[in-house]
Structure 1
Amino acid sequence: MPFITYLSGLLTAQMLSDDQLISGVEIRCEEKGRCPSTCHLCRRPGKEQLSPTPVLLEINRVVPLYTLIQDNGTKEAFKSALMSSYWCSGKGDVIDDWCRCDLSAFDASGLPNCSPLPQPVLRLSPTVEPSSTVVSLEWVDVQPAIGTKVSDYILQHKKVDEYTDTDLYTGEFLSFADDLLSGLGTSCVAAGRSHGEVPEVSIYSVIFKCLEPDGLYKFTLYAVDTRGRHSELSTVTLRTACPLVDDNKAEEIADKIYNLYNGYTSGKEQQMAYNTLMEVSASMLFRVQHHYNSHYEKFGDFVWRSEDELGPRKAHLILRRLERVSSHCSSLLRSAYIQSRVETVPYLFCRSEEVRPAGMVWYSILKDTKITCEEKMVSMARNTYGESKGRYYLTLSKVSPF
């Protein structure tokens, strides 16, 4: 039966007439355009005109369902059932702001589980763009208004590469309350807490400032409640930006190496060229090679001239360092122009004002922890890559959320 026909039937039967109004419910129906003539489903049999398109009822007042019940006893029973269903999975009663679980609502570990512990969602902070060494993560506090109480968040981070056995290497675990807010963390990691659009909602953040460039990192987060339960894991996998290079310096080194290779190369000049090329990073060496071949390849490419001037052994020690540059970064390092810039980004640095007693972490509520926060600044150097001067593109870190 079409929805509008149903409403018409209700009105005809005077089920919504003035003398039988249902408290808190108002129905209005109006025409909002017509169905297109090509739609055969909108045509009524035997009539050419199109039936009007029904509109969803407008909500002009939101009230709990149990307020529509007049009998006080029934109202309280309905209210208790609704609260239990919404906050305690229907397996317990709401007492103040927590759930008293039924005897049947305990897990295999003997812990009450009628009040679900939501999964936090880990994400990149929108205010701090990742760089080659800095990554900022954040998540919204998952503690509900009624039910389970979050005591801590555990953040695990580890570098993942082809040389690492991810099953054996667990990385580093950081307790947001015990390690970061208490100040036991290093200067490379800082924790913060702010509020979203709604003051009651807390947003937690952690900034890592000492990561390795072009490294694949896996960050995992889970919540711990006051009863020791763990939430489901939330994971973000991210590759940091490529290592920084000074393009002007790389071009100067390429010119210097050409001058040392040009003509007769003495032992002193050979050693100077070798030392110069071994002192720069692998990414800078790749860029030096790019500039050398761009300007002087007609006199012999960089690899051939290095082997000829320095000998196979020293040339091999230099050139094998180029293998450390990933295919992703090597393609960027072949760009015609590379520009460097430094920006300063603010972040929150928070510390707890109280000392959490050892062994009592499960009985403390993180949201109630008194903290002091201050805004600090971190300098982030970046490279932008382009095929012509004045037209550059910025490389972003690769992120894979799970």
Structure 2
Amino acid sequence: MKRRVLVFPCGSETGLEINRSLSYSRDFELFGASSQYSNHGKYVFKNYIEMNSYIDDKSFIEELQKIILEYKIDFVFPAHDSVVLKLSEYQDKLGAIVISPTHETCKLCRSKSRTYEVFKNKINVPKMYKEFDKNIEYPVFLKPDIGQGSKGTYLAKSLEEVGFYRNLDKTLLILEYLPGREFTVDCFTDRYSNLIFVGGRERKRIYNGISVDTSPTIDARFNTMAKQINDNLNLRGVWFFQVKENKKEELTLLEIGPRVAGSMGLYRNFGINLPILSLYDRLGIDIKLIKNPGKLQMDRSLTCKYELSYYYENVYVDLDDCLIFENKINSLIVLFLYQCLNNEKKIYLLTKHEGDVLKLLSRFRIRELFDNIIQIEKGEEKSDFINELNSIFIDDSFSERYKVNKELNIPTFDINAVESLIDWKV
């Protein structure tokens, strides 16, 4: 029987990485929830729940408790720093296991100043200045004591600039500027407090606080810092910390995150799936790791997911320059056609191919994919051979699509629009 896992907020980058990590697991069933009406989670979570309460609302915990009870949720994965802190506080009252460390650990990690105070004599942390310190070395970096990503951060080159930015936000810390390379170190601690995994990755390009170009980096200093953090905090399961080089190229702690990081997919594709390992650890299973060899670099960009409102039961698809493009299978169309098979929709090949169609399909190993193969002459109209109701038509030819649309009034799709037909919900 699958254990049920609720991800909140499911549309955050962390929530989306948890979705990718637990997709197709035979042991866990995913549920996603969000208080934001417009969010990406509803496009990738098959079991999607829209919440009425926001995290700071008095009714939030009560609503979450009802969801956990109604959907028989076993585990809750918090997918935002503020949510980690909130749910860790109420983890004994929710009726499901929260995948986070203790509340005290989460509270300390949420505050940069507290984190730096705890670790200042153990590992390198940034120098913290008072606003009118005479020994300030400019430029300095300003960031909120409680924050995430790069939101609300500033580089100040003078006392006047420091004053200007702190008038905007009194919580801004005045910190030593770190000009060097930046790294995230993904970690895992099991239920015995053993540090099982330490994997560093360079943050080569950062967009909106998220590492979008990252690759593995081996550095013994990561392991030393990870052990110090693990020995001084009550951590469990997946966590990470971020460091940056100072002007002497010494690694300096930026923050500790007791949650999944959005770019942990890099190590997931090496075989180290930290979110799912966190669940197995909570089930009392001892953790073992397999890491694949070779080099791997991950680059992220905005991707598109769609929700098509048109109902259809039948798909008519062209062959030449469409399903087979430049003498190769169009993998996106085949992905869609297998999705249709899973959803018990009928698939018709409608082609003006002049050669032996069956031989060509056999060559590409897709002969059995179709409910019917309709091969017509060049002078014939494809619209005359689309006889099923609730159909869509896929063809690379604009003239063919135009005729079918005008004659039958059904949706038609060019190759580059097939992506809107893909259902990514898991």
TM score, norm. by length of structure 1: 0.21
TM score, norm. by length of structure 2: 0.21
